[in-house]
Structures are given as C-alpha cells and as structure tokens.
Amino acid sequence: MPVAIGLEGSANKLGVGIILHPPHQTADPPSPHDSAHSDDEAFSTRTQKHTSPPVQILANLRHTYNSPPGTGFLPKDTAAHHRRWVVRLVKQAMKQAKVQLEDIDCICYTKGPGMGAPLGSVAIAARTLSQLWEKPLVGVNHCVGHIEMGRAITGADNPVVLYVSGGNTQVIAYSAQRYRIFGEALDIAVGNCLDRFARVLNIPNDPAPGYNIEQLAKKGKVLLELPYAVKGMDVSFSGILARVEEMARKLETSQTSGGGPWKDDESGQPITKEDLCFTLQETVYAMLVEITERAMAHVGASQVLVVGGVGCNERLQQMMGMMAAERGGSVFATDERFCIDNGIMIAHAGLIAWRMGFRTPLEESTFTQRFRTDEVLINWRD
C-alpha cells in the first residue's frame, strides 16, 4: 500500500504528514465516494460529511513560528525554527502513524513556491531522510498540494479553486492537464494585506493575525469606504492596504490626541479598531468572492473549493457559500488542519505523482521561491 511522508516548510509553518493511499485505485486522485470504508482510527479525528474517505491520514503534525506582535516572520528566523523542529516532528509523526521504515515509499517535500531560507532547510531535511532511509524523493508544488488535498478531503470533483494565503491569491481551474490560473493578485497576496494591517494595529500573530482580525471583525459595525480593486479576474490589494493603514494611524492619533474620537459621518458612531477589521474583511472578501464568481461564470463551473490559510476564515466561507447557492452550486472548504499549510497535503500530492512514476533525483532535489501552479503537468487527471 503506497505510503508517503510529506515535509512542508515554505513559510512560517513546519508540517510533517504521513498518508496512505489504499490499493486498487486508478491513477486519478482517490475520490471519497468510490472506496471501501476503512476502520483506521485516524478517521475519527476528521470532520467531513463523507463517510468513506479513501486516503488515510496516519499523521499530520504542524509547528508554527510566531513572531511578536507588530513584526512579521523573517526568513532566517523561520528557517532556524524549521531546523530546530524538523527531527522532532518527523520522529513524532512516525510514532503516531505506526508505520515501519520499509512501509514508506517516498519522501515528499515542498519544492516551492515560498520563502527561500525555510524552503531550503526543509529540502535539506528531506534529502537527509532520503539518503538515510534509501527512499526516493518527490518535489511537490505547494499550490498543487493545497488543491489536491482540498479535493481529496471535500470530494469536490472539478471545482474552481480559490487559493488564498499569506503569499498567494489565485483563482484556478483545471483544463487540459494543468491547473490554470484565471485570476490572481496583481501585487500583494490577500493574507499579506491582512498580516501587515494586523502589524499596524499591534494585533497578535498567535495563532494567526488573520484569525485575530476575524474575531475583532465580528464586533465591528461601521463599514468605511475602502478602494475596491477588481480588474477582470484579477485583484489588487496594495492600495487597500495603504488606505486602511492610514485609517489605523488616524484612529491611533484620534485616541491619543485630545481632539476627541473619530466619528462616522453618517451614524455619528465613534470608529473602533473592530470597525476597521470589519471594513477590511468585508471589502477584500467581497473582491475575492467576486472574482471567483466571475471565473465560475467564465468556465461554467458550479463547484468552488477554497484552500489556503485565509480559506479558514468563516466569513469568507459564508460569503462564498451564499454566492455559490445563488448560482445553484456549492462551496467546499476544509478546516484549519488542511487549509493552513501542512505536511499531509505535500505527502498526498507527492504520492499521487509518485504513483504516476514521478521521481526527483537527488541531484535535482532543489527548491525555488517561484514555482507557478500552471508549470506542473497534472497527468493524473483527464
């Protein structure tokens, strides 16, 4: 039975996952609908509506590097974090998965895209394991990992994919053996916009800046006017970030100076930090839902799958669900175990490729900061 271990470390999360693909499957990524139920205990931890998932998650561990409030994570510190934790995580994952070394077929690692230094430290760990255990390496595109894991978990067959995270904002649809990018952020990623806004307001990075913004936004009421930058199926966030940062500073000065609170022109309500979070979320998520809807209309799809760290956001999932329902379609999303960067998705996508005969020779086991989603040949789909 094919088993793979996956190592992910393209940003501030280090993930190690071990996956098993039950035998007698076609080369197509296993669909949760067509496989016999397995009694593996790992399933009990998964929350999903399908009762017979074919891929078995034997272990899925993650350790996150969080920088102090007001700062972002720097490449060298993040790489050091990954080096410090990788051995411990691999050992723990092997123990939890209860697999023997000989059961493992390949070692999958994130080849890119991501931050150079953290990617490098994880690639070195993967190479070391490969030589130590004499197992082949499989380099995986991080974005393809997200997409394949999302499909496997949710059972979405051929969805339009919105991939939103700290470094990526892409609307993707499958066509002719590639995941084609229909729309993307022209400047910074949506998660980057949220993270940097959080820094200005000193919103903590633990567990994630976006999560904390979401909690604050739940208490926000006033919607202020921000730029709304949709160009076709592309979006731009840098102008929004500049404007909302300006607002955050205005809020701070109004609180410290004696000029009285900053009030909303229409309602007369004082503007709060919560209102800024609310405004930012409502605006950027409306943009994301809009470009997703446009891509769905363009390719004629009714399913939408949301992946990536920002995809955990419940407001985004809610808006996407309403949009999909209006179009007679449905939305698929996963929870933080699979949305946020993890090792299991790398193991999963890597194992699919391995079963198609793909290997990454040691000499070619490099990593790259730039690795477009559409560069990967998706030869396991029709």
Partner 1 sequence: MAQPPPQQPLRTLPPPFNTSAESFELIAQGAESLLYRTTFLSPAQPAALKVRPQKTWRHPTLDKRLTRQRVLAEARVLVKLSGEGIVAGGGGRKVKDPKKKNDGGGDNGGVGALRGLVPAVLALDWERGWLVTEWIDGVTVKLGIYQRDLAADEGVLRGLLGRIGRVVGLLHLAGVVHGDLTTSNMMLRPTRTPGTNADAMARAEEERGEVEVEGGLEGDIVLIDFGLATQSVSDEDRAVDLYVLERAFGSTHPKEEGQFDEVLKAYGESMGKPGKVVLRRLEDVRMRGRKKSMLG
Binding-site annotation: residue ranges for substrate: 163-167, 195, 210, 214, 313
Closest by CA position to 150, among listed 165, 138, 136, 137: 165
Strands (E), 65-124: 106-112
186 contributes a contact to partner 1 by CB under 8 A: yes
325: number of CA atoms within 13 Å, CB side? 6
226 touches 279 (CB < 8 A):
yes
* C-alpha 91 chain-centroid distance: 25
**Range 345-364, binding partner 1 (CB under 8 A):** none
180 contributes a contact to partner 1 by CB under 8 A: yes
Instruction: Cite the annotated binding site for a divalent metal cation by residue number.
Output: 142, 146, 163, 341
Closest to partner 1 by CB, 114 vs 350, is: 114
Binds partner 1 (CB under 8 A): choice among 67, 318, 336, 380 = 318
Query: Minimal distance in Å, beta carbon 310 to partner 1?
Result: 9
Binding mask 264-303 for partner 1 (x = CB under 8 A): ------------------xx--x--xx--xx-xxxxx-x-
118 touches 10 (CB < 8 A):
yes
- The contacts of residue 319 (CB under 8 Å, 6+ apart) are 285, 286, 289
Instruction: Cite the annotated binding site by residue number.
Output: 142, 146, 163-167, 195, 210, 214, 313, 341
Closest by CA position to 195, among listed 183, 207, 185: 207
Strands (E), 79-192: 106-112, 137-141, 160-164, 169-175, 178-184
Query: Minimal distance in Å, beta carbon 228 to partner 1?
Result: 7
Closest to partner 1 by CB, 158 vs 175, is: 175
Residues that bind partner 1 (CB under 8 A): 10-11, 112-115, 165-168, 173, 175-176, 178, 180-189, 191-192, 223, 225, 228, 230-234, 282-283, 286, 289-290, 293-294, 296-300, 302, 308-309, 318-320, 322-323, 326-329, 341, 369-372
